[in-house]
A = this chain, B = another copy of it.
Amino acid sequence: MPELRQNLATKEWVIIATERARRPEEFVEPTHARTDERPDWLADCPFCPGNEELDLEVLRIPQEGAWQLRVVCNKYPALQREGERTFSFDGIHRMISGVGHHEVLIETPRHNSAPALQRSDEVALMLRAFQLRGQEVTTDPRVQHLIYFKNHGVRAGTSLLHPHTQLIGLPVVPHTIRLRTEEARRYFDDHGMCVFCKMIEDELSDGVRIVMESEHFVAFVPFAAFSPFHLWILPRRHHSNFLDTQANEIADLGHLLRQVLRKFYVGLNDPDYNYVIRSAPIHDPAMEYLHWYLALVPRVSRAAGFELGSGMFINIALPEASAAFLREVKEDN
C-alpha cells in the first residue's frame, strides 16, 4: 500500500508511491553531454578568465595572480543594491521596494568543472567564500534573510553552464520560512529539544536512509523525502546559522559535500540538481530551536498540477532505496 509520510520538522506530507515505485537505477540519466565533456574555456562565457567585468567584483581569491574563485554582483540582479527599504500596504496592494543583494560565486576558472570534479579543499573554499559574503551582506540593515543556492544544469534552471552558485539577500523573511520557524519553535516548546537534532538522532538510529557521515555532518535521505534522492546534510552540532560554522567544520563539509555530489555524478551520470543552504533568518533569535542544513534535490522527476494544488509531492522512489543506492556508489574519492 502507498504511504503518506510527514516530515517531522516541516510538517509537509508526501505520498510515497510504494506500489509503482521505480528502482533507483531507472533514474540514471541516459548518455548526455556531461560537464567534463565541455571545453574548459569558452570565448563568450562571461565567467571564463579573460572576460572578467571588474567593476562588478566583490571578492577574488587569491587577490594576486590567476584567480581560483570570484564573487561578483549579478549583472541582471533580481533585487537592486541601492535604495531604501520602503513599505506600502493598502488592501491588495502590499509592497516592499525590491532592494537587496544578488551575488554570483564563480566557483572555478574552469568552464567544464563542477563540485563533483573538484578537490575537497576547493569545495570548502567555495563554502568559505559564501560565509565571507554572507557576513558582509548581513551588515546591511535592510537585509532580513539570506538564500544560498545552486542551479546545476538546464533542468535545474541555470542559463549559464560555467559552475556558479548564488546568494540573495532579501528585504523580507519569506512567508514559508516564517511558518517553518514557527513549527520548529512549537516542537521545541512541546519537547524541549530541537526538532532537527531529533531527526539526526532518529535517522542515525534507523541507519537505512543514511548516505554518508563525517566527523561533523550527517547526509541522509529524509524519511519523508519529497523526490527521488532528495537529500539533507545537517551539522551534528546544534547551531542555527550557517555563518557560525567553524573553519574545521567547513573543511569537513567541503569533503562530505564533494563526496555526495560525486556519488550523484558517478551514480546518476551527472544529473541536473539544485541545492540550497537553509539558515535561520538573520535577525531571528532562533538559536535554540532552528538548525541550519543543506538540502539537495536532483531534477529527476517533475512537479505538476497535484503539487501546485496541494503543496504535497508524490515520490516515485522509496527513500530507503534511494539511500541504499547512493551508499553503494563508489565515488572513487
| Chain A residues within CB distance 8 Å of chain B | 1-8, 10-13, 15-20, 76, 78-80, 83, 91-99, 145, 147-151, 156-158, 166, 168, 170-172, 174-177, 179, 198-199, 202-203, 206, 223-224, 274-278, 295, 297, 302-306, 308-312, 314
21 CB-based A-B contacts, threshold 8 Å: A1-B83, A3-B95, A3-B96, A4-B95, A4-B98, A6-B94, A13-B175, A16-B98, A18-B98, A19-B80, A78-B306, A93-B223, A94-B224, A148-B309, A149-B305, A150-B305, A151-B305, A174-B312, A175-B312, A176-B311, A303-B303
A158 partner residues in chain B, CB cutoff 8 A? 304
Q: Which residue of B lies closest to A4 (CB)?
A: B96
Besides A3-B96, A175-B312, 13 more A-B contacts (Cβ < 8 Å) are A2-B97, A4-B95, A4-B98, A13-B174, A20-B76, A92-B203, A151-B305, A157-B303, A157-B305, A166-B305, A168-B310, A170-B312, A274-B308
Q: Which residue of B lies closest to A276 (CB)?
A: B309
Assess whether B2 is in contact with A78, with CB atoms less than 8 Å apart: yes
Partner of A311, one of B97, B151, B175: B175
Q: Which residue of B lies closest to A19 (CB)?
A: B80
Tell me which of A10, A80, A179, A295 has the highest count of chain B C-beta atoms within 10 A of its own C-beta: A179
Minimum-distance CB pairs A-B, first 4? A157-B304, A2-B98, A176-B311, A149-B305
Q: Which residue of B lies closest to A274 (CB)?
A: B305
Measured in the bound complex, the distance between the Cα atoms of B97 and A235 in whole Å is 32
Measured in the bound complex, the distance between the Cα atoms of B168 and A13 in whole Å is 14
Partner of A308, one of B4, B18, B276: B276
A79 partner residues in chain B, CB cutoff 8 A? 2, 15
Measured in the bound complex, the distance between the Cα atoms of B179 and A11 in whole Å is 11
Partner of A95, one of B6, B206, B308: B6
Knowing A147-B310, A302-B157 are in contact, say whether A199-B92 is a contact too (CB < 8 A).
yes
A147 partner residues in chain B, CB cutoff 8 A? 306, 309-310
Partner of A92, one of B19, B175, B223, B302: B223
A80 partner residues in chain B, CB cutoff 8 A? 1-2, 19
A18 partner residues in chain B, CB cutoff 8 A? 98
A312 partner residues in chain B, CB cutoff 8 A? 170, 174-176
A172 to chain B, nearest CB (A): 6
Measured in the bound complex, the distance between the Cα atoms of B95 and A295 in whole Å is 22
